[in-house]
Structure 1
Amino acid sequence: MKRYLDEQVRQDLQKKMVVLTGPRQVGKTTLSRQLVGELAGAQYLNYDVAAHRAVMLAQSWRQSAPLLVLDEIHKMRDWKAWLKGVADGRAPDQQLLVTGSARMDTFRQSGESLAGRYFRLRLHPLSVREWAEQAQVSPHAALTHLLERGGFPEPALAKSNDEAQRWRNDYFAGLVREDVLEFSRLQEVNAMRLFAEMLRARVGSPLSLASIARDLNLSPVTLAKYLDILEALFIVFVVRPWHRNIARATLQAPKVYFYDTGLVQGDDGVRFENLVACHLLKNVQWQQDTRGAPVELHYIRTKDEAEVDFCLSQGDTLTHLVECKLSDAKPHRALARFAEQWPQAQAVQLLRECRAEADLGRLQLRDAASWLAALDV
């Protein structure tokens, strides 16, 4: 399957080491093996495979390999110092691709710095644009498919919804049982599983860790740590309220979304909002990783509880206000209010079922499928 990062990875490998991260089973290994297949003598090594791990620890891979792929090295102790040595000691013409299913800037860091040695790229699940191109269907059909299956390649490509659901059950259980254990103690796994299950029913709402902590008989500090781990493993991502003062925004309640929309427990509106969140984050991180753009994803909520689902910022300037609705073409009151308050921002009300697009003052009513398909990735 062709992915949106394929060509970018090829281009970046010509210049520096590439660190490719993203959720487990999002397609990193497939992308890597496709690249290995294109170059005679290229070599792929996975730290999870015992035989591969032995080669990696001994650094006995083929020095003549034009491309060396090292997968899951974040599980190695002092991986950062080790990778620095590998990068500095490789042959001048050897390309180096490092992949992992955890944020490699978060856990088990050493004092060594990889600054200036690599390009970072983050691979996301399939978008409306990608699936429409892959399956040769309309954006509306692609949106419907992704709402049913989620954007991970295996369930998206599955022959039936039952197959997709079987994959998802195993996927979620494996994430909590195996990956979380890499960064936490065994006795914490059950508590974190319960926490992750509770988050599935709280998508799109301001998150009160204190309330959940009482339910689980844990401290909010412990739950904040668990949330950091779930973020680092690309299970969930956090959207924080927008404020020019970063410290104030951090103190306000975040909203949590899942990379896999299929994991969301909620009505069609909540699942739709989660899918839009995934698309916006994917687009933001594409701009950050490939252009160095200072763009961010947030939401807006005021003291009088007026709220808009999402906003995009560049530096300290709002560029987009986005509200998600299934079919309500009536202008969202808070969106209209904020559109007047920040006239430089494009105010868009995305409709899952849109009979006719319209411009109502500063507010734009847009068909969600077409709008999402027009994003960069």
Structure 2
Amino acid sequence: MSTDNYYIRRRLLSSLTAHLDQPEITVLVGPRQSGKTTILKRLESELRAGGRKTLWLNLDFEDDFRHVASEGALLQKIQLELGSGGGVVFIDEIQRRENAGLFLKGLYDQGLPWKFVVSGSGSIELKEKISESLVGRKRLFELSTVSFGEFADFRTGYRYTDRLRDYFRTEPSKTDQLFREYLMYGGYPRVVLADTHQEKMATINEIFRSYLEKDIVYLLRVEKSESFSNLVRVLATQSGKMVSYSELSATLGLSLATVKLYLWYLEKTYIIDKVTPWYTNIRKEITKAPVYYFRDIGLRNFAAGSFGALSDSEAGFAFQNVIHAMLKERFPLADSTIHYWRTKDKAEVDFVLRSGDTVTPLEVKYRDMKKLDVRRSFLGFLTRYHPEFGYIVNRNYSDEALICQTRVRCLPYWELMFEEAFP
């Protein structure tokens, strides 16, 4: 049996490979168990097959950890294994090393002949302090859980890798079947690879427990792990809805400051994303109620008690959650931000994409569409702000019309994965 039956190809691999020839340290971050070790092992395997020397250290193992006790200890190990002629040094779980940022800075500033590639799980230390210490010395890559495109590519045996768009167009019922599975179980690699519902349930439970124990209790020293877990569960039931900090505080019996701190932890450890409202007055974005989306829809479903069994009403919010993830994948740049829009009279648009001075409204509809149907709220946004483009993302329908001088496009969700979706 082909190894591709067990390995999910990740699109980030090509970017990581391309960066190997750059002097900066390659830093791979992302949620726990999103596949960081697997993708780096694949990269190392390809390098070795091409004749390049590599060294692999996993700081979860004590025998490897001792080699990073000091710069001198690590250089001694590298010299022993690779010699002085160059090579690639992989350090997995770098967040285990105290002051990892300063440690890596010291190595980089020596102008050594070896390329360093490091990875770490959802540690705030890793992302915040390494970013601070390694300004101009690193390139940060983020590996999320498996996207729907990667999932569909894997499940179709990579027969349509360069023709996925054609596959989605030609096989709508098979595409819908794949998407329903993804919508229920999400994209954690081990969950995708598990065969049965029971195995998937056991796996997502273990991933959540591991996250609480290793990231929240051990690394962040959160004492009220049960309250933290309850916050995740409450958020899961409110995914895609406006969140009131004071209501969360009252529901969970936590102070307002603690609620905000825990939410910040959840963002920094790659569990949730915060979406703020869009206003022409940017001060209001900061003060008004945000909306939270889960990075992985399977984890959201597990926390909400609907893993593998979404009701129709839940499926709509789950669909919106996945659309947010697709948009985030398409608009990763700092000058592109994702918001929502809501007025005092409760007119709302699910997403507003802001890129420089350009704003683009995007409405999400899970139900089957037969014609281009524009809600009053969406129409209100068009008449008030006159954007050049607007989008209605749904499950199966394509159309286009000029409405209030705005070019409104109706797209099936999978079109968001392709460059042609946005002019």
Is the pair's TM-score, using the shorter chain for normalization, greater than 0.5? yes
Please provide the CA RMSD for this pair: 2.5
Question: Does the CA contact (< 8 Å) of 1:78 and 1:108 recur in 2?
Answer: no
Match of 2:309 in 1: none
In structure 2, relative to structure 1, the CA distance for the partners of 1:279 and 1:107 (3 Å cut) is closer
Match of 2:155 in 1: 135
Question: Hey, what's the Cα distance between the residues in 1 that align with 2:231 and 2:253?
Answer: 11
Match of 2:15 in 1: 8
Question: Does the CA contact (< 8 Å) of 1:124 and 1:282 recur in 2?
Answer: no
Q: Which moved more, 1:327-336 or 1:275-284?
A: 327-336
Q: Percent identity?
A: 28
Match of 1:342 in 2: 385
State the Cα distance separating 1:130 from its structure 2 match.
2.1
Q: What is the DSSP-based 3-state SS (H/G/I as helix, E as strand, rest coil) of the residue aligned with 1:109?
A: helix
Within 5 Å, give how 1:291-302 maps onto structure 2: 294-302=335-343
Which of 32, 38, 63 lines up with 1:30 in the alignment? 38
Question: Hey, what's the Cα distance between the residues in 1 that align with 2:399 and 2:367?
Answer: 12
Q: What is the DSSP-based 3-state SS (H/G/I as helix, E as strand, rest coil) of the residue aligned with 2:133?
A: coil
Question: Hey, what's the Cα distance between the residues in 2 that align with 1:99 and 1:165?
Answer: 27
Question: Does the CA contact (< 8 Å) of 1:101 and 1:234 recur in 2?
Answer: no
Which of 357, 361, 367 lines up with 1:321 in the alignment? 361
State the Cα distance separating 1:357 from its structure 2 match.
3.3
In structure 2, relative to structure 1, the CA distance for the partners of 1:29 and 1:195 (3 Å cut) is same
Normalised by the size of structure 1, how large is the TM-score?
0.89
Ranges of 4+ aligned residues in structure 1 off by more than 4 Å: 103-108
Q: Deviations over 1:191-222 (max 9, x none)?
A: 21111111111100111111010112211111
State the Cα distance separating 1:336 from its structure 2 match.
2.2
Question: Hey, what's the Cα distance between the residues in 2 that align with 1:82 and 1:173?
Answer: 30
In structure 2, relative to structure 1, the CA distance for the partners of 1:162 and 1:204 (3 Å cut) is same
Question: Hey, what's the Cα distance between the residues in 1 that align with 2:351 and 2:120?
Answer: 29
Match of 2:61 in 1: 49
Whichever residue aligns with residue 324 of structure 2, its letter is A
Match of 2:314 in 1: 267
Greater helix fraction, Structure 1 or Structure 2: 2
Whichever residue aligns with residue 325 of structure 1, its letter is K
- Residues matched between the structures, number: 367
- Unpaired runs of 5+ in structure 1? none
State the Cα distance separating 1:161 from its structure 2 match.
2.7
Which of 97, 100, 117 lines up with 2:117 in the alignment? 97
Normalised by the size of structure 2, how large is the TM-score?
0.80
Q: Deviations over 1:25-54 (max 9, x none)?
A: 111111100111122331222222222211
In structure 2, relative to structure 1, the CA distance for the partners of 1:135 and 1:347 (3 Å cut) is same
Whichever residue aligns with residue 302 of structure 1, its letter is T
- Unpaired runs of 5+ in structure 2? 1-7, 161-166, 169-174, 305-312
Question: Hey, what's the Cα distance between the residues in 1 that align with 2:258 and 2:232?
Answer: 13
Q: What is the DSSP-based 3-state SS (H/G/I as helix, E as strand, rest coil) of the residue aligned with 2:34?
A: coil
Question: Does the CA contact (< 8 Å) of 1:326 and 1:353 recur in 2?
Answer: no
Question: Hey, what's the Cα distance between the residues in 1 that align with 2:47 and 2:154?
Answer: 24
Match of 2:418 in 1: 374
Q: Which moved more, 1:108-117 or 1:71-80?
A: 108-117
Q: Deviations over 1:303-342 (max 9, x none)?
A: 2221111121112421x32111112643222122213333
Q: Which moved more, 1:241-250 or 1:210-219?
A: 241-250
Match of 1:331 in 2: 374
Q: Which moved more, 1:213-222 or 1:151-160?
A: 151-160
Which of 78, 82, 85 lines up with 1:62 in the alignment? 78
In structure 2, relative to structure 1, the CA distance for the partners of 1:340 and 1:105 (3 Å cut) is farther
Question: Hey, what's the Cα distance between the residues in 2 that align with 1:267 and 1:203?
Answer: 10
Q: What is the DSSP-based 3-state SS (H/G/I as helix, E as strand, rest coil) of the residue aligned with 1:115?
A: coil
State the Cα distance separating 1:110 from its structure 2 match.
8.2
Whichever residue aligns with residue 85 of structure 1, its letter is G
Question: Hey, what's the Cα distance between the residues in 2 that align with 1:187 and 1:220?
Answer: 17
The structure number with the bigger radius of gyration is 2
State the Cα distance separating 1:186 from its structure 2 match.
4.8
Question: Hey, what's the Cα distance between the residues in 2 that align with 1:95 and 1:125?
Answer: 26
In structure 2, relative to structure 1, the CA distance for the partners of 1:123 and 1:246 (3 Å cut) is farther
Question: Does the CA contact (< 8 Å) of 1:129 and 1:372 recur in 2?
Answer: no
Question: Does the CA contact (< 8 Å) of 1:332 and 1:349 recur in 2?
Answer: no
Question: Does the CA contact (< 8 Å) of 2:276 and 2:285 recur in 1?
Answer: yes
* Residue 204 (1) aligns with residue 243 (2): no
Match of 2:195 in 1: 159
